[in-house]
Amino acid sequence: MTMAARIRKYFLFAIIVISSCDRVGENEKLVKQAAQLFVSSYETNWVAPYSYVREVFSNGRYCYFQGIQGVADIHFDVGHAKDYGTSLLDANFYTSDALVTDLYSPQSLKPVLKPESGSVYPATLHSLASSYHNSTCIEVWRQKSSIELYSPLSPSHVKEYDYIVEHVGEGPSKHIEVTFLSKAGFFPKRNKICGQGKLYLTAGYMPFRIELNNSENRTYSAAKGPARPIATPYHTIVDYVCRKGKIYISSISSFVRWEMPDVSEDEQLFIVESPSCRNPFKNGLTSETVLRFGEPYGNQTLPESIGSKYIWGKQVSLYSDSVDLSFWRDSFPDKFSKLLEDVGLTEEQLVERSLQISEEFRQAMLRNGIDVETSLHETRYYIESTK
């Protein structure tokens, strides 16, 4: 019996023991009410400052760090978004400062990791042994969007999950925790997510957190057929905050580790993100990614000139002509110290390497007709003018 089958067996046993059939129906009704409240309260258009930190480790040591701050322009209507594709890309992330580095030898200054080495898809043990890609995609944003479209947060998919509901805490800390598991027969034709997670609600049924664990996600894939072995066990958390009756995204976090499944060399696997180095299993690859949003800038929108200079969906720009080192040092003191130790650089060398990567990125974008330098300056001006 597979791990997924064992989880389902014990999950359904818990439902039978804890709940009667009437209670199961009540649980579904409660979740449906929460999902309807979520969709009706969800803010679809907003602008806010953001910080994005992606850390990739090899056997516990840094091999890639990407720290970016700037402003995000969000246009995502969870109630009317379509299937995978452009509906998941309804956000633009503009950079005002970036600290980016990879693992390299200080003596030769020769990068160990190049931006990419060919496509890793379709992912198999064979392709992952030699292919990797240090993407500038904000994968956690794509994960967030697919969770909102196909998890119990979506009223149209509530019936496609089994639930266990627990009322937790007393007084101001009182809330509801809903454990959910995909029912058989809906994936991947009707529901693009297959797996398990937990939904957190206030006492008034307003969602404030959702977690998804080790679930196959085909919202941005045309793959067909049954669920595939997971090569990247992961845990994704989306936190929300309610302001004046509207729900905004507070943060998105993702924790991924690479674990070799017991499959043949050419069997297709599910991976939640591209590996940042070849042979991720042998190299003990793990990653931590956190995207945080600050207070929204009211109903303001970005000047059209910024959007016309840099339109690249959910990608982030690695370009910055300077590095606010004090921000990264003060905001992430423990991470910063470990980063310097693992990559073997001084602070001055770290800034030099970051600016080198930024310039390489700018030149690559220029070859594609995209002027990231102009966008950088306009973004900084916009942030200052809205403070």
Instruction: Render pLDDT for 168-224 as a digit per residue (tens, 0 to 9).
Output: 988 888 999 999 999 999 998 899 999 999 999 999 999 999 999 988 888 766 667
| Residue 274: per-residue pLDDT | 85
Torsion of CA 235, 236, 241, 242, to 10 degrees: -110
Structure tokens at 290: 């956190």
| Residue 153: per-residue pLDDT | 97
List the one residue out of 35, 28, 140, 128 whose CA is nearest residue 79.
35
| Residue 297: per-residue pLDDT | 86
Residues of the chain falling short of pLDDT 50: 3, 10, 13, 15-20, 84-88, 104-117, 310-312
Under DSSP, the state recorded for 183 is P
DSSP SS3 for 146: helix
| Residue 4: per-residue pLDDT | 52
| Residue 16: per-residue pLDDT | 47
pTM of the complete model: 0.88
| Residue 81: per-residue pLDDT | 62
